[in-house]
Amino acid sequence: MGSPPMPPPRRPGAAPVPSLGLWDVVALILGIVIGAGIFRSPGVVAASSAGPGEVLLVWIVGGVVSLAGALCYAELATAYPHAGGDYHFLDRAFGRRPAFLFAWARLTVIPTGSVALLAFVFGDYVAGALGRPAASGLVAAGLVVALVALNVAGLRLAAGAQGALTALVVLGLAAVIAIGLGLPPAPLAAPGDAAGAGGAFSPAAGLALVFVLFAYGGWNEAAYVSAELRGGRRAIATALVLSLAVVTALYVLANVAYLRGLGFERLQGSTTVAADLLDRAAGPAGVAAVSLVVAIAAVTSANATLLLGSRLCWAFGQDHPGFSALGRWSARASTPVNAVLAQGTIALALVGFGIASRRGFETMVAYTAPVFWLFFLLTGAAVVVLRRRDPSAPRPFRVPLYPFTPALFCAACAYLLWSSLAYAGPGAALGVAVLVAGLVPLWWSRRAAPVRRAAHP
């Protein structure tokens, strides 16, 4: 089909500049990935596994799948660094219509729903600690407002807070691991359950993988700061691989600690695994301490999601005149202020929806999952499409074992898309409906004015 035409010059105005170091981006990735998932998913994963060996195996597989995806993203981000991330890759590979729908999903479904669900995690723990569980929704809304204010204040302040909070979360998770490994071992499996301890996959292991990859989710957000990272194009690949290596090691060790400290059967029935582990080790004081760690983890993930998601909305506004207000970059704050405000407003509306449903966290997970995995699948396919369509583009980093690595990632995404549609219920239907509703502004945008393709930095 040939290479895409060269885009016209960017509209006048401020734009992203390389202002983040490698460790800033690593902190963003760690902060967004190490969130509520590792403190909520292990019990569900164990309940869907045949034994302790399978529990550990499925967490390792999740790390391998995530690394395959990260390698795909690293090739795209080094070849086409842009604040639009996936949006820019999809535009080059498949054209403006799929890219528009992806940007619409990023504005209305994926990061906004993620901010809302993380706010509910924070609200549940804080309101519970204060003895006022009914106030969870109000606490969640307050967190969204506070994070919007932080990001409007400027990139350096938001990134600095992210680094400090991420350090606390990693140290907290490391402390949980150390305490679990130091406890006298609990029984791994009930008598007669030895077959499950060998590590062979059981029929329900696929469902376990859904929850494992939910816990690993968020590393792809690094693509949105590829144009703001110092150190050359290969630096984003280094940040992705380094971050996922750390996350995989922490997650596997955390599950070893949970299995040692709680045993397989108790882990299967736990919805608050870290709190249960610390309760055994230190009683109520341990529960309070780990609850604080979980609350901080929710804040770091929500802040990183808002910070990085706003970059795509900025790129979207640069390209589509009907959304030009989103495409204004504040040189003072070094951030797209209007995009932050727009995403914060939608996240607040979703918090209200979650309060009305009385199942805020579960509703938001169901709302985001199918749309998330659909566009992950398309972005993985973009690696293959752009290798064929634009072979002359400089690629400082190339996916190892091509095309097997992109094929592995795309197969995993297709399976998780099917699983999220099959198991997520009405919330999934709502998320898909909002995505389909994006066809209306797509039609309106095409009629109102031609698309402006912003030049990548």
Query: Does any domain span residue 9?
Result: no
Kindly give, in sequence order, each residue whose CB lies less than 8 Å from that of residue 203, ignoring residues fewer than 6 positions away.
Answer: none
Q: How far apart are CA 302 and CA 317, in angstroms?
A: 22
What is the distance of C-alpha 160 from the center of its chain?
Answer: 20
Query: Does any domain span residue 2?
Result: no
pLDDT exceeds 60 at position 198: no
Can you give the pLDDT at residue 5?
A: 34
Instruction: Return phi, psi of residue 454, to 5°.
Output: -75, 140
Whether the Cβ atoms of residue 18 and residue 31 lie closer than 8 Å to each other = no
Cross-strand bridge partners of residue 335? 330
Using the CB atoms, write b or e for 51-74: b if 16+ within 10 Å. bbbbbbbbbebbbebbbbbbbbbb
Q: Which amino acid is at 240?
A: L
Percent helix, strand and coil across the chain, each to the nearest 5: 75, 0, 25
Average pLDDT estimate for 134-160: 82
What is the distance of C-alpha 31 from the center of its chain?
Answer: 10
Can you give the pLDDT at residue 369?
A: 82
448 pLDDT tier (thresholds 50, 70, 90): low
Q: How far apart are CA 338 and CA 151, in angstroms?
A: 11
Q: Which amino acid is at 318?
A: Q
Task: Give the closest residue to 65 by CA, choosing from 379, 341, 410.
Answer: 410
Average pLDDT estimate for 309-334: 73
Percent of the chain surpassing pLDDT 90 = 16
pLDDT in tens, 272-302: 788 888 888 888 888 888 888 888 888 888 8
Q: How far apart are CA 236 and CA 22, in angstroms?
A: 8
Q: Encoding tokens for residue 388?
A: 């064929």
Average pLDDT estimate for 244-264: 92
Can you give the pLDDT at residue 425?
A: 64
Average pLDDT estimate for 197-217: 68
Average pLDDT estimate for 336-356: 84
Query: Does any domain span residue 13?
Result: no
Average pLDDT estimate for 21-43: 78
Q: Encoding tokens for residue 242?
A: 């380094």
Query: Does any domain span residue 15?
Result: no
Instruction: Return phi, psi of residue 18, to 5°.
Output: -65, 105
Query: Does any domain span residue 46?
Result: yes
Query: Does any domain span residue 251?
Result: yes
Q: How far apart are CA 77 and CA 69, in angstroms?
A: 12
Residue with tokens 């704050």: 333
Measured torsion, CA atoms of residues 84, 87, 93, 95, in degrees rounded to the nearest 10: -120
Grouping H, G, I as helix, E, B as strand and the rest as coil, residue 229 is: strand
Can you give the pLDDT at residue 18?
A: 55
Instruction: Return phi, psi of residue 330, to 5°.
Output: -85, 115
Around 387, how many Cα atoms within 13 Å sit in the side-chain half-sphere?
14
Average pLDDT estimate for 86-108: 88
Can you give the pLDDT at residue 360?
A: 63
Count structural domains, the chain.
1
Task: Give the closest residue to 73 by CA, choosing from 448, 375, 431, 427.
Answer: 375
Question: DSSP letter string over 26-40?
Answer: HHHHHHHHSSSHHHH
222 pLDDT tier (thresholds 50, 70, 90): low
For 146, counting Cβ atoms within 10 Å of its Cβ (0-12 exposed, 13-18 middle, 19+ buried), the class is middle
Can you give the pLDDT at residue 386?
A: 94
Q: How far apart are CA 99 and CA 105, in angstroms?
A: 10
Cross-strand bridge partners of residue 20? 229
Query: Does any domain span residue 169?
Result: yes
Grouping H, G, I as helix, E, B as strand and the rest as coil, residue 248 is: helix
Q: How far apart are CA 369 and CA 364, in angstroms?
A: 9
Residue with tokens 């993620």: 114
Can you give the pLDDT at residue 206?
A: 66
Can you give the pLDDT at residue 229?
A: 65
199 pLDDT tier (thresholds 50, 70, 90): very low
Can you give the pLDDT at residue 253?
A: 94
pLDDT in tens, 368-419: 888 988 999 999 999 999 999 999 888 888 999 999 999 999 999 998 888 7
Around 355, how many Cα atoms within 13 Å sit in the side-chain half-sphere?
17
Average pLDDT estimate for 69-83: 84
Lowest mean per-residue pLDDT among 243-252, 324-333, 424-433: 324-333
56 or 127, higher pLDDT: 56
Cross-strand bridge partners of residue 229? 20
Average confidence score pLDDT of the chain: 79
Can you give the pLDDT at residue 59?
A: 93
DSSP code for 20: B
pLDDT exceeds 80 at position 311: no
pLDDT exceeds 70 at position 361: no
Query: Does any domain span residue 311?
Result: yes
Average pLDDT estimate for 146-159: 78
Q: Which amino acid is at 265?
A: E
Q: Which CATH number is 119's domain given? A: 1.20.1740.10
Structural domain for 441, as ranges = 22-448
| CA distances, 446 to each of 6, 97, 204 (Å) | 20, 10, 45
423 pLDDT tier (thresholds 50, 70, 90): low
Q: Encoding tokens for residue 197?
A: 């301890």
Kindly give, in sequence order, each residue whose CB lies less than 8 Å from that of residue 443, ignoring residues fewer than 6 positions away.
Answer: none
Q: The whole model's pTM is what?
A: 0.75
